[in-house]
Amino acid sequence: MIRVEGLSKVFRRPKTFTGPFGAVRTLLTRQYEEKVAVEDVSFSVGEGEVVGYLGPNGAGKSTTIKILTGILTPTSGVVEVAGRVPWRERKANARSVGVVFGQRSQLWWDLPLIESLRLVGALYDVPAQRFTASLNRLRDVLGLDGFLDTPVRQLSLGQRMRGDLAAAMLYEPPLLYLDEPTVGLDVLAKEAVRDFIVETNRLGRTTVVLTTHDLADVEALCKRIILIDGGKVVYDGEIEALVSSYAPPRRLVVHLFDGEDLSFEIKGSLPELVASVSAEHRIRDMSIEEPDLESVIKRIY
């Protein structure tokens, strides 16, 4: 579904001058500063995969997504999405992808949600019968009926996000890009969004590329992650392999009767460690801290 080979993107901007007449010098200068946003990135995503595309702020995630959607043209490299070059075939590419940005809406602010969805259907030339069938499925899966007639500006954040997901999938694209889809949502709204992504992938074999800082989303939805840092891919593989390779040691946390908490790294036999601690302390309770994806990603960063 997606093929990326040797992708690089370099942004050029005029050098900025300060001091007297600095603004004029900046305006007239022929000196430029270059910033490498993405450097020699290569990966592929197969049909039906749900892939987490992760990295710290400024790592190059958004630049990559903008190139995949055809918004930006790369400096060098090969990019194909469903057999098309996104920035050369923008209209055809736009019809085959859905995009949801958690902090920006594609809905019309003053219109009721249902009218926004009808406009999306008209923009993508969705036949009436197909539109009705798709809308009915989305109403059921996303629970839209309670606010279909509400202006978008009056929707809660969770309702708006469900509306954006409906707009992105109304024309049934085979590929869905999700950029921070659960940012700011409460627990129930997050669960609704995750359930929808799982169902969409299961029923339609929709390929999903997810960028997020909420690693609970990644653990719930993805088997594979691509980790990017400084514009370069530093890991591409299954989550389980990443955790086993980079996980911090397991720890035994002991709660004592005097209110003190002790933590021990588990290096050898757990029963021997427990016996050793028990011989010296009165233990009220104990637990084992297992490494999770968040602790691994934090350690890599």
239 and 256 assigned to the same domain: no
pLDDT of residue 3: 96
CA gap 16, 23 in Å, rounded: 8
- 47 has a pLDDT exceeding 90: yes
188 and 269 assigned to the same domain: no
87 and 215 assigned to the same domain: yes
Residue 33 inside a domain? The answer is no
pLDDT of residue 26: 67
Please report the sign of the dihedral spanned by the C-alpha atoms of residue 124, residue 106, residue 151, residue 210.
positive
Report the DSSP beta bridge partners of residue 228: 233
- The tally of domains found in the chain comes to 2
Residue 4 inside a domain? The answer is no
Share of the chain above pLDDT 90, in %: 51
257 and 220 assigned to the same domain: no
262 and 275 assigned to the same domain: yes
CA gap 25, 188 in Å, rounded: 54
Q: Residue 173 maps to which CATH number?
A: 3.40.50.300
CA gap 53, 45 in Å, rounded: 11
pLDDT of residue 155: 93
Q: For residue 60, count other CB atoms closer than 10 A to its CB.
A: 25
The mean pLDDT value of the chain amounts to 88
Tens digits of per-residue pLDDT, 115-131?
999 999 999 999 999 99
CA gap 75, 77 in Å, rounded: 7
The values of phi and psi at residue 12, to 5°, are -115, 140
For the chain, how many residues are written?
Answer: 301
211 and 63 assigned to the same domain: yes
pLDDT band at 293 (very low <50, low <70, confident <90, very high): confident
200 and 88 assigned to the same domain: yes
User: Which of the residue ranges 28-42, 71-85, 86-100 would you say has the lowest mean pLDDT?
Assistant: 28-42
Integer angstrom CA distances of residue 252 from 132, 240, 246, 274: 56, 22, 19, 8
254 and 235 assigned to the same domain: no
Tens digits of per-residue pLDDT, 157-203?
889 999 999 999 999 999 999 988 888 788 888 888 899 899 889 88
pLDDT of residue 171: 93
Residue 255 inside a domain? The answer is yes
Residue 147 inside a domain? The answer is yes
pLDDT of residue 7: 95
- Reported in sequence order, the residue ranges of 85-157 that DSSP labels E, i.e. its strands, are 97-101
Of the three residues 245, 265, 282, the one that is the final residue of a domain is: 245
Tens digits of per-residue pLDDT, 202-261?
887 899 999 988 888 888 899 899 999 889 999 999 988 887 777 667 788 999 998 889
- 20 has a pLDDT exceeding 70: yes
Does 291 or 283 have the greater pLDDT score? 283
Residue 32 inside a domain? The answer is no
278 and 163 assigned to the same domain: no
pLDDT band at 268 (very low <50, low <70, confident <90, very high): confident
Domain that holds residue 285: 247-300
Of the three residues 218, 245, 272, the one that is the final residue of a domain is: 245
Does 68 or 15 have the greater pLDDT score? 68
8 A C-beta contact, residue 170 and residue 134: yes
- 152 has a pLDDT exceeding 90: yes
pLDDT of residue 144: 92
pLDDT band at 149 (very low <50, low <70, confident <90, very high): very high
- 295 has a pLDDT exceeding 90: no
236 and 182 assigned to the same domain: yes
54 and 134 assigned to the same domain: yes
162 and 208 assigned to the same domain: yes
